[in-house]
Structure 1
Amino acid sequence: MDTPVYIPVISDYGFKATFGNEANTLFLRTALQALIKSAIPIREVHFDKNVFEALTIDSRSGIFDLACTDENGSQFIVEMQLGLAPHFVQRMKFYALHKFNTVVERGEFDYANLPKIYAIAILAKSILPTTHFHTIANLRSEMGEIIDNQMTFITVELAKFNKQVTQIETDLEKLVYTMKTLHTTEPTQYPAFWNEEWLKRAIDELDTRKMTPEERAYFARVTAANAEAVKAEKQKIQEAEDRRENLVRSETVKTALQMGLAVEQVARLANVSIEFVAQIQTQLSVD
C-alpha cells in the first residue's frame, strides 16, 4: 500500500509524533490552549505517567494516550478514538475521576485549591447528540448555571467539522482541520496557516519525505502492529457476533421443539442443520 506524503495526525504514530513530542511541546501547548479555549498561553508542560493499574474488576490496566501538567498545575488527559465508541464519555469519566482521586489523595484529602482537570476526547466519529464539533462540559444546574469548573470534559468530533479553508479563523479550527485533512492533502494544496510555527513543526514530523531511515523503520513497525491489533479486534467482534447468532438460533430451536414441531420443521424454521436441532433436543431431554 502506498504511503501518503503526510502521516495522519490521528494515527497512533501521528499522535505520538505531534501531541506526544516531548522534545518540542509547542504544538501540544498551542493545541491544548485551543481545545480548552483559553486566552492565556500555556508556557510549559511536562508529561505524566499515563497508565494506572488494576482499577477495573477484571484487573486490566487503564491507559489513555497522553497525560501532562502545565506550569500552573492544571492536569490534562488526552484520548484519541478512531472507531465508533458510543460509550466513550463513560471512559473519559473513569479516567478523569481517577485523576481527581489521585490529586485529592496527594493533598491528604484537602479539597481546597485543587488543580483543574481537563479530560479531552478526540473522536473520528460522532457520539454526542449535539451539532457542534467541539463541546465543553462542566457541572451545571438545571438552569445552565456553572456549579463547578474544576473538572472539564472536552469532546472533539472530527466527523462534525465541515468548514472549508477560507472559513477557518481560530486555532481550534486550524487544529481540527489539520487533524481531519492533512493525510489527504497534496503539498500543492497547502493552506497558508500550515506555515504557522506550531503547525509547521508538527507537520514536518509527519512528512514522510523528511523521515530518517530509523523513523521510517519505526513507522513501519507501528503500522504493522496497529494492523495486527485491528485484525485481532475484528476477529473478536466477529466471534462475539457468531456467539450471539448461535444463541438466538438455539433459543429459536428450543421454543419450536417445546411447541411440538418436528425436527425437520424446526431446522427449516431456524435455518440450521438437523444435527444442530438434534443436539438441542438432547439437551432439553437431559434438562
Structure 2
Amino acid sequence: MENSIYIPIISDYGFKTTFGNEADSLFLRIALQALIKSDTRIREVKFDKNSFEALTVDSRSGIFDLACTDENGNQFIVEMQLGQAPHFVQRLKFYALHKFNTLVERGEFDYANLPKLYAIAILEKNILPTAHFHTIANLRSQQNEIIDHQMTFIIVELAKFTKQVAEIETDLEKLVYTMKTLHTTEPTQYPAFWDEEWLKRAIDELDTRKMTPEERAYFARVTAANAEAVKAEKQKIREAVEQKEIETVTKALRRGKLTLDEIAEDSGVSMDFVLYIQRNLSAS
C-alpha cells in the first residue's frame, strides 16, 4: 500500500467503496451478474440490513459484509475473507441459512414462493480441493442432478486465478483479475478493459490521488482499526498456541516417561520452557 496508487479492492475500505457503494451500484450490479453467471442484467439493487440478531440466547449474532436484493427479489449476501480460513464454508452456510430462515419468516412460512438466495464468498487464499477459481454449488443428488435452485453458494478463490490480460474475456475474469492485481499494477501496464465504465468507476473510488480530505481521514481510521483487529487476533492465536504447548509439556512431565530433552523436542519448545513448566508443577 505504501507505494501503490490504488487501494486494494480486497481491503475492508476497498470493498466498502466498490461493492458497498450505495450512491453508485453499477460495479456491484455487474459484478453480481458475473459472479452468479447470469445472462439477465441486474438493473437495480437495494442494500439490506447486513447484521442480524441471535435467534436464541445461546445462538450467535453476526454481520454480513454486504447484503442486497435486486429488482426481481433475488437475495445476495457477499463475504470477503483475507488470509487463511479453513472453515470458511461453515461460516458461509451459517450466514446463508440464517438468511433463508428470515425469508421463510417474511413469507409467513410459505415455501412455494421463496426468492433465490445467492451466498457469495470471495477469498484471498484457497480453501476448496478444486482446481478452478470460481465454484458454483447447489444441492445435488448422488447422480449430480440438481435438487434445489433456490439456494446457491458461490466461492471465488483469488489465489487460483492465473490468467494473463491477453487471455481474459468474460466480466467474471475481468472482475477477479482487477481484485487480485489492481493495487500492484504499474500505470503503464493497465489493461484496456479497465476503461469499461463499471470498472472505471470502481477504480476511481480506489485512486488515492483523487481522495478528498474526508475520504483520506476515513481511510486512515479504517486502516488503523483493521491494524488493531489484526494485532488482537494474532495475540489470541499466540495465547492459544502457548496454552496448547503448556498442556502438552505438562502432560508429558506428569507421565514421567520421557527425558526433558525428549519432551522439548517432541513438543517443539525450548528446554527453558520445559524447565519453567517443571518448576511451576513442583511449586504447586
TM-score by length of 1: 0.92
Q: How many residues were matched structurally?
A: 277
RMSD of aligned residue pairs (Cα, Å): 1.8
Query: Which residue does the alignment assign to 2:277?
Result: 276
The sequence identity of aligned pairs, in percent, is 76
Work out the CA distance in 1 between the residues paired with 2:192 and 2:19.
Answer: 21
Distance in 1 of aligned mates of 2:47 and 2:136: 23
2:165 is matched with which residue?
A: 165
Deviation at 1:55, TM superposition (A): 4.6
Name structure 1 gaps, 5 residues minimum.
Answer: none
Q: Deviations over 1:51-96 (max 9, x none)?
A: 1122587555211100000000000000000011011111111111
| 1:84-110 Cα distance to aligned partner (Å, 9 max, x none) | 101111111111111111111111111
The gaps in structure 2 that reach 5 residues or longer are 265-270
Matched, 1:13 2:13: yes
**One-letter identity of the residue aligned with 2:156:** V
Query: What is the correspondence of 1:76-115 to structure 2 with a 5 Å cutoff?
Result: 76-115=76-115
Answer yes or no: is the 8 Å Cα contact 1:253–1:267 preserved in 2.
no
Partners of 1:46 and 1:88 in 2: how far apart?
Answer: 26
Larger radius of gyration: 1
Contact 2:246–2:277 (8 Å) recurs in 1: no
Aligned-partner SS, 1:149: strand
Change in 2 beyond 3 A, CA 1:152/1:248: same
Q: Could you say which residue in structure 2 is the equivalent of 1:209?
A: 209
Which range moves more in the overlay, 26-35 or 215-224?
A: 215-224
- Quote how far apart the aligned CAs of 1:188 are: 1.5
Q: Deviations over 1:242-273 (max 9, x none)?
A: 101111010111111xx5x8xxx548744345
Matched, 1:193 2:193: yes
Equivalent residue, structure 2, for 1:148: 148
Structure 1 window deviating more from structure 2 (47-56 vs 16-25): it is 47-56
Structure 1 residues 222 and 3 mapped into 2: Cα distance closer, same or farther (>3 Å)?
Answer: farther
CA separation of 1:164 and 1:107: change in aligned 2, threshold 3 A: same
Verify the 8 A CA contact 1:121 1:154 in the aligned structure 2: yes
Equivalent position amino acid for 1:98 in 2? H
Q: Secondary structure at the match of 2:119?
A: strand
Does 2:245 correspond to 1:245? yes
Q: Aligned AA for 2:114?
A: L
User: Given the two structures, how large is their TM-score scaled by the length of structure 2?
Assistant: 0.93
The 1:273–1:26 alpha-carbon spacing in structure 2 relative to 1, beyond 3 Å, is closer
Give me the whole-angstrom Cα distance separating, in 2, the residues matched to 1:19 and 1:146.
30
